[in-house]
Protein backbone atom coordinates (compact mmCIF):
# COMPACT_ATOMS: atom_id res chain seq x y z
CA UNK A 1 0.00 0.00 0.00
CA UNK A 2 1.38 3.40 -0.92
CA UNK A 3 1.60 6.21 1.60
CA UNK A 4 -1.58 8.28 1.57
CA UNK A 5 -3.61 5.48 -0.01
CA UNK A 6 -6.60 4.63 2.14
CA UNK A 7 -7.04 1.08 3.32
CA UNK A 8 -10.42 -0.56 2.99
CA UNK A 9 -12.41 -1.21 6.13
CA UNK A 10 -11.30 -4.38 7.88
CA UNK A 11 -12.78 -6.68 10.50
CA UNK A 12 -9.93 -6.98 13.01
CA UNK A 13 -9.59 -9.03 16.18
CA UNK A 14 -6.58 -8.05 18.26
CA UNK A 15 -4.89 -10.65 20.45
CA UNK A 16 -5.78 -10.48 24.13
CA UNK A 17 -2.09 -10.46 25.03
CA UNK A 18 -1.14 -7.56 22.74
CA UNK A 19 0.51 -4.75 24.66
CA UNK A 20 -1.58 -1.61 24.07
CA UNK A 21 -4.32 -3.82 22.63
CA UNK A 22 -7.23 -1.74 23.91
CA UNK A 23 -5.66 1.46 22.57
CA UNK A 24 -4.97 -0.19 19.21
CA UNK A 25 -8.60 -1.36 18.98
CA UNK A 26 -9.80 2.15 19.80
CA UNK A 27 -7.53 3.61 17.09
CA UNK A 28 -8.69 1.02 14.54
CA UNK A 29 -12.35 1.78 15.22
CA UNK A 30 -11.72 5.53 14.95
CA UNK A 31 -10.04 4.85 11.58
CA UNK A 32 -13.21 3.17 10.31
CA UNK A 33 -12.41 -0.48 10.91
CA UNK A 34 -14.56 -2.93 12.88
CA UNK A 35 -12.14 -3.96 15.62
CA UNK A 36 -12.40 -5.77 18.94
CA UNK A 37 -10.09 -7.18 21.56
CA UNK A 38 -10.15 -10.96 21.32
CA UNK A 39 -10.23 -13.55 24.08
CA UNK A 40 -7.33 -15.56 22.68
CA UNK A 41 -3.73 -14.95 21.70
CA UNK A 42 -4.46 -14.88 17.96
CA UNK A 43 -4.79 -11.85 15.68
CA UNK A 44 -7.35 -12.04 12.88
CA UNK A 45 -8.06 -9.85 9.85
CA UNK A 46 -11.31 -10.44 7.99
CA UNK A 47 -11.54 -13.85 9.67
CA UNK A 48 -8.04 -14.97 8.69
CA UNK A 49 -5.49 -15.85 11.36
CA UNK A 50 -2.34 -13.77 10.88
CA UNK A 51 -0.14 -16.76 11.80
CA UNK A 52 -1.41 -18.75 8.80
CA UNK A 53 -2.36 -16.15 6.18
CA UNK A 54 0.30 -13.95 4.58
CA UNK A 55 -2.21 -11.32 3.44
CA UNK A 56 -3.72 -11.02 6.92
CA UNK A 57 -0.26 -10.82 8.43
CA UNK A 58 0.80 -8.03 6.06
CA UNK A 59 -2.44 -6.12 6.67
CA UNK A 60 -2.03 -6.37 10.44
CA UNK A 61 1.60 -5.25 10.15
CA UNK A 62 0.53 -2.23 8.09
CA UNK A 63 -2.23 -1.33 10.54
CA UNK A 64 0.12 -1.70 13.52
CA UNK A 65 2.76 0.45 11.83
CA UNK A 66 0.21 3.15 11.03
CA UNK A 67 -0.98 3.06 14.65
CA UNK A 68 2.56 3.30 16.02
CA UNK A 69 3.34 6.23 13.72
CA UNK A 70 0.21 8.06 14.85
CA UNK A 71 0.87 8.06 18.59
Could you tell me the pLDDT band of residue 57, with boundaries at 50, 70 and 90?
very high
Cβ–Cβ < 8 Å for 35, 25: yes
Dump pLDDT digits (tens) for 11-28. 999 999 988 999 999 999
> Does residue 47 register a pLDDT over 50?
yes
Instruction: Provide the mean pLDDT of the chain.
Output: 90
* DSSP symbols for 37-71: E-SSS--EETTEETTT-HHHHHHHHHHHHHHHHH-
pTM: 0.85
> Does residue 1 register a pLDDT over 80?
no
Amino acid sequence: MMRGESMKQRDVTVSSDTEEGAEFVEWLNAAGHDAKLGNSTGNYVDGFWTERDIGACETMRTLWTDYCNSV
